[in-house]
Amino acid sequence: MSNLYGVLGVSSKADAAALKAAYRRLAKASHPDLNAGDHRAEQRFKEINVAYKTLGDPETRATYDAARAAARQRLRQELRGAAATMSASFVLTVTWGYVAAKWWLGV
């Protein structure tokens, strides 16, 4: 999922007026009529349109924000699981290193 707020260059707390102003500014700069033959500008123009279409409508914006929040929550859970696994691995490595050292030294 791409960050549509980043595409428009606004914060997630931006109001409708800020969204519209950012959209108009970016759409004008990337418009295919002003950038004939520039495929990157055309692709950027399409991304800007999709971002504004999604964020400009309050219902789709709420759905998008909820999906982003859920994705962030899933990522946090995955990172917590990875951190727990790394911690457990470290403890086991140190413990077995200690046991092996005791055995090797005969203490």
Given phi > 0 = left and psi -120 to 50 = alpha, else beta, which region is 37?
left
Give residue-wise pLDDT tens across range 56-68: 999 999 999 999 9
Give residue-wise pLDDT tens across range 10-55: 999 999 999 999 999 999 999 988 888 889 999 999 999 999 999 9
Confidence at 81, pLDDT banded by 50, 70, 90? confident
Separation CA 64–CA 59 (nearest Å): 9
Confidence at 70, pLDDT banded by 50, 70, 90? very high
- Within a domain: residue 27? yes
Task: Report the CATH number at residue 9.
Answer: 1.10.287.110
| Structure tokens, 95 | 């413990």
Going from the C-alpha of 34 to that of each of 39, 41, 63, the distances in angstroms are 12, 9, 33
How many structural domains comprise the chain?
A: 1
* pTM across the whole model: 0.69
